[in-house]
Amino acid sequence: MATTSRDTAREILEVVPLVMRTVRTEMRERRAHDLSVPQFRTLGFVERHAGTSLSELAEHIGLTLPSMSKLIDGLVERKLVTRQGRSDDRRRITLALTARGCALLESAHESTQASLAERLSALDENERAIVVRALRILHPLFVRGKTEGRYGYS
């Protein structure tokens, strides 16, 4: 029997939310830092796009400018992010992670990965290889593309 796109979609809708729930839960438990999900995502984006502006960040996270501004207020207060003026266009700001923000993000990511790996140790090597292969097949289909939305989620 052929595996249709519909079959695959059904399977994805059944399994992926389960996996995501676990990832989220572990992310939350590990953080010990009391960050909301949008705050976390913000740190991640700023890490990958050091020097980004507020507008660009807001666009990618899916928050309005005022909400993003306020969120950044909090991260700056906690010394996880720096906010500097720009000399070339003085309306704009430049955002970057502090060493502390970078370390926090790193450690959260690391420990989430570790706890996930523990769960996956129940698989044998062949099974893991199939999983990795499947994920690499899916990856390009879900990178930020045309059918993309403006939402940030949280």
Question: Interface residues with a second copy (CB under 8 A)?
Answer: 2-26, 28-29, 109, 112-123, 125, 127-139, 141-143, 147-149, 151, 153-154
Q: Which tokens is 150 given?
A: 């403006």
Q: Which is nearer to DNA, 47 or 59 (CB)?
A: 59
**Helix (H/G/I), strand (E/B), else coil: 82:** strand
- Least Cα distance to 71 among 107, 62, 109 occurs for 62
Cα–Cα distance measured from residue 68 to residue 62, given in angstroms and rounded to the nearest whole number = 9
Q: Which is nearer to a second copy, 79 or 130 (CB)?
A: 130
Residue 77's binding partner out of a second copy, DNA, none, with CB under 5 to 8 Å set by partner kind: none
Cα–Cα distance measured from residue 96 to residue 115, given in angstroms and rounded to the nearest whole number = 28
Residue 67's binding partner out of DNA, a second copy, none, with CB under 5 to 8 Å set by partner kind: DNA
Residues 44-63, interacting with DNA (CB under 7 A)? 53-56, 62-63
Residue 73's binding partner out of a second copy, DNA, none, with CB under 5 to 8 Å set by partner kind: DNA
What are residue 87's phi and psi, to 5 degrees? -80, -35
Count CB-CB contacts under 10 A for residue 53.
Answer: 16
Q: What is the dihedral of CA 54, 55, 59, 62, to 10 degrees?
A: 50
Q: What is the dihedral of CA 129, 135, 137, 139, to 10 degrees?
A: -150
Per-residue contact flags (x/-) with DNA for residues 5 to 44, judged by CB under 7 A: -------------------------------x-xx-----
Q: Which is nearer to DNA, 90 or 144 (CB)?
A: 90
**Which residues of the chain form contacts with DNA (CB under 7 A)?**
36, 38-39, 53-56, 62-67, 69-74, 83, 88-93, 152, 154
